[in-house]
């Protein structure tokens, strides 16, 4: 378990992170989101022991990272930003070196290295110089490096940056797999990535946490209201609207843009899930339903709202 | 200790995988032998004094070329962040890197052995003097490496670190030159004489191992390795 407690880091006059606190539980994958320069990397550098905080601290499995730096560092696997590797080494040389440096027992070392090669799909690259690898393979070597000593906590700073879409999907699958057994915290500014891999996200802007929660919690536009968009095939717009208004829980029915030819589209706001009633109504009048879905505010929109206007109050704080 | 050994193994592997070590070794041996043999047949003397006299001047270029990459490269590529977030302590990393470079220097010095050995074979050469000269050369190189390694930790740029190291090492040699000492007075002269690497190297190369010269070199090494650890740790409060 990783607990961040009132962490602050200043570089001269500049406050990179400002009194942030959060917890990541065992077996959780948490996405750390924010625009560039929000303080994501700085937070990770502190958690991994590369930089000391100005004030506050982080606790890893009950141990303070400042008092027990060596011990806590040993429990963390870290994939730094830009995935730095020793380019002049071959893949296998590098993994052996990391295993040895990380204190993997001599007996288990070769088994562990083989395991990482298997998991990260590096079989064909063992005797290539790291400097000659493609970005996708480099990233896998970085992942292998961060996992080889079986850490409890894995910290990944933008693990998919610079990869092509296929590679991104592969790496995400890998992260999900890792997340089943370990505590994972990854930073990114790619929103679909968080939705695809994380149980929970923390959005940070200008050094402060502006929101945290699951994707669902963050994207529900208004917690009390249900928004349903429905398209019905029917000539008479007014009749449908009228009928819809009479359904239970419905508070507002408004025409919605971009209707297909011959269909009418409505946005229905109510206090409860109304989809069943809408179905029954359309069935009764024989209006075929062309589409129907609950409207969600996209994560992109939430992110923009939270990070563009910093004077705004946080929408969701747990 | 296990971590230091792992790091030394990796450093040596890195060095062997890159061309710089071969260029530097060949350069050292070729330049040194050429400078020596240029006069050897003219002088018709089986003396090694001039051979060892060239060492500091060649080391002056060789050491910065080796030490420039030690930290600058790690900083530039970001691998320093990986290295120092493993359980490796800052001083362990400093020591491991230093020892790896020393092993390299030792290897280069061994490559220069054929010359004195062949001169000894054809003439009457004092074996003890060869040994003390090699000890002097090694101590001189070791202290130059400590300085270069520290300077490398101050910059991300290898070229900058090369030039600064070259200038600092050059200054440390120059302040011990007789004509410079002659133009100064009193305590300044003594200070310059004492601080110069050249003074102590020349003392030892006469064939006498004086504890003061050895202490000088070891103090330089300890001081600059300590400064190196300090400059790594400064990342926490910068």
Looking up tokens 């994380």 gives A198
The chain-wide mean pLDDT, for chain B, equals 90
- Which CATH number does the domain A226-294 belong to among 3.30.70.3100, 1.10.468.10, 3.40.50.300, 3.90.1150.10? 3.30.70.3100
pLDDT grade for B46, boundaries at 50, 70 and 90: low
> Residue A163: how many CB atoms within 10 A of its CB?
18
pLDDT grade for A224, boundaries at 50, 70 and 90: low
pLDDT grade for A1, boundaries at 50, 70 and 90: confident
Residue A316 is predicted with a pLDDT of 44
Residue A57 is predicted with a pLDDT of 92
A60 — phi, psi (to 5°)?
A: -115, 120
Nearest by CB to residue B82, choosing from A11, A74, A84, is A84
Q: Which of residues 91-110 of A touch B (CB under 8 A)?
A: 93, 97-98, 100-103
Q: How far is B85 from chain A (nearest CA, A)?
A: 6
Average pLDDT, integer, range B229-236: 93
User: In chain B, what residues touch A70 (CB-CB under 8 Å)?
Assistant: 87, 89
List, for residues A123-149, the tens digit of each pLDDT value: 999 999 999 998 888 988 999 999 999
Domain that holds residue B58: 2-236
User: In chain A, what residues touch B17 (CB-CB under 8 Å)?
Assistant: 88-90, 129
Average pLDDT, integer, range B206-233: 93
> Residue A187: how many CB atoms within 10 A of its CB?
25
Residue B214 is predicted with a pLDDT of 93
pLDDT grade for A234, boundaries at 50, 70 and 90: confident
Looking up tokens 């009928």 gives A243
Average pLDDT, integer, range A165-175: 84
**Does B60 score more than 90 pLDDT?**
yes
**Does A270 score more than 60 pLDDT?**
yes
Query: What is the 3 state secondary structure string of B121-168?
Result: HHCCCCHHHHHHHHHHHHHHHHHHHHHHHHHHCCCCCHHHHHHHHHHH
Residue B3 is predicted with a pLDDT of 92
| Helix (H), strand (E) counts: chain B | 14, 0
ipTM here: 0.87
**Does A312 score more than 50 pLDDT?**
no
Instruction: Say if domain A2-219 classifies as CATH 1.10.3720.10.
Output: no
pLDDT grade for A318, boundaries at 50, 70 and 90: very low
Percent residues over pLDDT 70 in chain B: 99
A126 touches B: beta carbon within 8 Å: no
- What is the spatial distance between Cα A211 and Cα A317, in angstroms, rounded to a whole number? 6
CB spacing of A50 vs B84 below 8 angstroms: yes
The chain-wide mean pLDDT, for chain A, equals 85
Highest mean pLDDT among A185-189, A305-309, B148-152: B148-152
pLDDT grade for A313, boundaries at 50, 70 and 90: very low
What are the CB-based long-range contacts (under 8 Å, 24+) for B17-24?
A: B17/A88, B17/A89, B17/A90, B17/A129, B18/A88, B20/B65, B20/B66, B20/B69, B21/B66, B21/B104, B24/B62, B24/B65, B24/B66, B24/B108
Percent residues over pLDDT 70 in chain A: 94
Nearest by CB to residue B77, choosing from A84, A93, A100, is A84
**Does A308 score more than 60 pLDDT?**
yes
Number of domains in chain B: 1
**Does A223 score more than 60 pLDDT?**
no
User: In chain A, what residues touch B6 (CB-CB under 8 Å)?
Assistant: 97, 100-101
- What is the spatial distance between Cα B36 and Cα B51, in angstroms, rounded to a whole number? 5
Nearest by CB to residue B89, choosing from A70, A76, A102, is A70
Average pLDDT, integer, range A273-278: 86
**Nearest-CA residue of chain B relative to A89?**
B14
B233 touches A: beta carbon within 8 Å: no
Kindly write down the DSSP assignment for every residue of chain A, as one continuous string. Answer: -EEEEEEEEEETTEEEEEEEEEEE-TT-EEEEE-STTSSHHHHHHHHTTSS--SEEEEEETTEETTTTHHHHHHTEEEE-TT----TTSBHHHHHHHHHHHTT--HHHHHHHHHHHHHHHT-GGGTTSBGGGS-HHHHHHHHHHHHHTT--SEEEEESTTTT--HHHHHHHHHHHHHHHTTSEEEEEES-HHHHHHH-SEEEEEETTEEEEEE-HHHHH-S-SS-EEEEEEEE-S-HHHHHHHHHTSTTEEEEEE-S-PPTTEEEEEEEESS--HHHHHHHHHHHT--EEEEEE----HHHHHHHHHH-TTSPPS---
Nearest by CB to residue A86, choosing from B9, B14, B89, is B14
**More reliable by pLDDT, A187 or A298:** A187
CB spacing of A88 vs B17 below 8 angstroms: yes
Domain boundaries, chain A: 2-219, 226-294
- What is the spatial distance between Cα B109 and Cα B26, in angstroms, rounded to a whole number? 11
Residue A315 is predicted with a pLDDT of 46
**Does B163 score more than 90 pLDDT?**
yes
Average pLDDT, integer, range B117-130: 82
**Does A5 score more than 60 pLDDT?**
yes
**Does A105 score more than 50 pLDDT?**
yes
Report the b/e string of A228-242 with b at 16+ CB within 10 A.
bebbbebeeeeebee
């Amino acid at each position: 378990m990783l607990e961040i407690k009132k962490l602050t880091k200043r570089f001269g006059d500049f406050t990179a992170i400002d009194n942030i606190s959060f917890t990541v539980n065992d077996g959780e994958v948490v996405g750390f989101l924010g625009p560039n320069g929000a303080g994501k990397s700085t937070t990770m550098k502190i958690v991994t022991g590369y930089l000391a905080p100005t004030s506050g601290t982080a606790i890893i499995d009950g141990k303070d990272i400042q008092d027990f730096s060596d011990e806590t560092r040993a429990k963390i696997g870290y994939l730094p930003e830009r995935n730095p590797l020793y380019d002049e080494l071959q893949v296998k040389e590098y993994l052996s070196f990391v295993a040895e440096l990380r204190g993997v027992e001599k007996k288990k070392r070769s088994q562990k290295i083989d395991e990482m090669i298997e998991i990260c799909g590096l079989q064909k690259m063992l005797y290539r110089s790291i400097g000659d690898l493609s970005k996708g393979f480099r990233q896998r070597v970085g992942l292998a490096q961060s996992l080889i000593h079986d850490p409890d906590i894995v910290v990944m700073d933008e693990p998919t940056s610079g990869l092509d879409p296929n590679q991104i999907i592969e790496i995400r699958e890998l992260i999900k797999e890792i997340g089943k057994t370990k505590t994972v915290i990854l930073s990114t500014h790619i929103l679909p990535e968080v939705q695809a891999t994380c149980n929970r996200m923390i959005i940070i802007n200008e050094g402060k946490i502006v929101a945290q929660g699951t994707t669902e919690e963050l994207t529900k536009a208004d917690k009390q209201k249900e928004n349903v968009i429905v398209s019905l095939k029917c000539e008479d717009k007014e009749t449908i609207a009228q009928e819809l208004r009479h359904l239970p829980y419905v508070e507002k029915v408004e025409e919605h843009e971009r209707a297909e030819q011959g269909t009418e589209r409505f946005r229905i706001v109510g206090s409860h899930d109304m989809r069943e009633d809408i179905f029954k109504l359309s069935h009764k009048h024989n209006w075929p339903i062309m589409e129907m879905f609950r409207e969600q505010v996209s994560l992109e929109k939430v992110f923009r709202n939270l990070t563009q206007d910093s004077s705004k109050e946080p929408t969701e704080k747990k | 200790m296990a971590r230091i050994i792992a790091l030394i193994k990796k450093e040596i592997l890195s060095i062997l995988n890159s061309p710089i070590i071969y260029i530097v070794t060949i350069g050292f041996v070729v330049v040194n032998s050429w400078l020596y043999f240029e006069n050897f047949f003219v002088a018709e003397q089986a003396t090694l004094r001039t051979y060892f006299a060239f060492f500091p001047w060649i080391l002056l270029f060789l050491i910065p070329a080796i030490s420039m990459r030690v930290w600058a490269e790690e900083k530039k590529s970001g691998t320093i962040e990986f290295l120092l977030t493993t359980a490796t302590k800052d001083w362990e990393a400093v020591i491991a890197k230093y020892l790896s470079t020393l092993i390299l220097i030792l290897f280069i010095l061994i490559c220069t052995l054929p010359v004195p050995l062949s001169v000894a074979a054809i003439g009457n050469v004092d074996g003890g003097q060869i040994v003390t000269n090699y000890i002097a050369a090694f101590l001189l190189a070791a202290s130059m490496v400590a300085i270069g390694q520290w300077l490398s930790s101050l910059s991300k740029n290898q070229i900058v670190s090369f030039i600064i190291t070259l200038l600092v090492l050059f200054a440390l040699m120059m302040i011990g030159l007789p004509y410079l000492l002659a133009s100064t007075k009193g305590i300044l002269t003594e200070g310059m004489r004492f601080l110069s690497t050249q003074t102590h190297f020349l003392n030892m190369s006469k064939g006498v191992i004086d504890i003061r010269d050895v202490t000088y070199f070891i103090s330089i090494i300890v001081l600059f390795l300590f400064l190196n650890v300090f400059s790594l740790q400064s990342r926490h409060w910068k």
